[in-house]
Amino acid sequence: MPANFILIAASLAFAGFLFRPSMLTSRFWRATVTPLASIVGSGFLIAGPILYASVGSVAWIAMAALCIISYLFGSAVRENILHLEQADDRTPMQSLVNEIGDIVLAGAYFISVAYYLNLFAAFGLRLFDTVDPTLVRIVSTAAIAAIGGIGAFGGLKALESLEVGTVGLKLSVIGGLLTTLTVVTLFAWTHADLNLPQLPVKSGWDEIRTVLGLVVLVQGFETSRYLGSKYNPEMRIRTMRRAQWIAAAIYVSFILLFRRYFTGAIEGAGAETAIIDMLAPLGIAVAPLLIAAALASQSSAAIADMNGAGGLIAEASRRKIPVKPAYLVTALVAIAMTWVFNIFEIITWASRAFVAYYALQSFLAASAALRRGAWLRGALYAGACVLAIAIIAIAKPASV
């Protein structure tokens, strides 16, 4: 089975589709890509190994549950776009909670910068077949310091050009990988050679806590909330919903197709890049393409979140804290987390931080729904708020 040829050909085909002028200039697609690129980012590269190691053969159910939870939180954000976006639509209490939510989201961005650039370093060092965790921390620290320094002294506009094309590259590789896995799996199935590994079902309390600590894997849809200067509410609601549908299909399909390649044998150093070794049987083209997609994804996401953190801090402080010093604060927090926690602990802390933001968004959505007499929607979003608080309280780090 010429898997290398399929992977390269399919990736190029997706690139040809995604880089068409009509796609690049489509407002609907551009509004969809912003949240989609955040949702289907670094999480795609680590979801398979983490979930199969954590919950065994029910990994796809766990992934579907994460997507459903994120869709519920996304619904709350969409409710707020529609009913609470303008300041004159809010009560004083709602305005206060909204401001607190912005500060919490800025804090979540602090942690996610560490998350993204630790994965950036881990995947980048795989080019040199290196998995030393200390070296990963050193490289990620240098990357965080470089981005923070450029932001503090020159503004992150100097780095924005790096983001051009990275989304298309990442989605092209993911599309090519899914196509290859589908073709190879169908070929094995029709030739009675599927040979799925026998994995135990892990569904205890610890496993549930671990899965709930992985919400960050499907985070990113909230970016639509902050695109009001470019797109009207209807466009942002439609494209956020579409992005979550596409992301859920990609994640669940990948988890199902990945099972055949899960070995469970990679632990300790290099665990965060386990997908490279596990998918190696597909062919020699897998590693360089995955690394290229990872580097593109992590760098652009880190820059975007650094920008977001700086902007939110400046806005929340009513410009008392300028944007450029906020970049340095973000970098310092991210560097501290890099040296205090391992990547899986950072993932859980990032999940908690984003879920705290979703708890506030759910509270706002519930109050807005109840205020206009939509009792069922109010109850739904109140339940989402309670769920978010529970996740913050019980989530635990995963490991492979």
Q: Work out the angle at residue 382's Cα, subtended by the Cα atoms of residues 380 and 386, and round it to the nearest 5 degrees.
A: 115
Task: Measure the CA–CA gap between 290 and 279, rounded to whole angstroms.
Answer: 10
The DSSP call for residue 282 is G
pLDDT of residue 88: 72
Note the pLDDT of residue 270.
55
State whether residue 214 is helix, strand or coil: coil
Which 3 state secondary structure label does DSSP give 134?
helix
Are residues 315 and 102 in contact, defined by beta-carbon separation less than 8 angstroms? Answer: yes
Asked if 331 and 57 count as a contact pair (C-beta separation under 8 A), the reply is no
Render each residue's pLDDT in the chain as its tens digit; 400 residues.
588 888 899 999 998 998 888 887 888 888 888 788 778 876 777 888 888 888 888 999 999 999 999 999 999 999 999 888 776 778 888 888 888 888 888 888 888 888 888 888 888 888 888 878 899 999 999 999 988 888 878 766 655 555 546 777 888 888 898 999 999 888 888 877 777 777 777 778 888 888 888 888 888 888 888 777 778 999 999 999 999 999 999 999 999 998 888 877 555 555 677 788 888 888 888 888 888 877 877 877 787 778 777 777 877 777 777 878 888 888 999 999 999 988 888 888 888 889 999 999 999 999 999 988 899 999 999 999 999 999 999 988 765 5
What is the C-alpha to C-alpha distance for residues 39 and 251, in angstroms, rounded to an integer? 10
The CA-atom distances, in angstroms, between 178 and each of 4, 258, 290, 362, 366 are: 13, 9, 12, 33, 38
Q: What is the reported pLDDT for 135? A: 92
Q: What is the model's pLDDT at position 164?
A: 47
Give the whole-angstrom CA distance, residue 396 versus residue 366: 27
Distance CA(140)–CA(340), nearest Å, equals 13
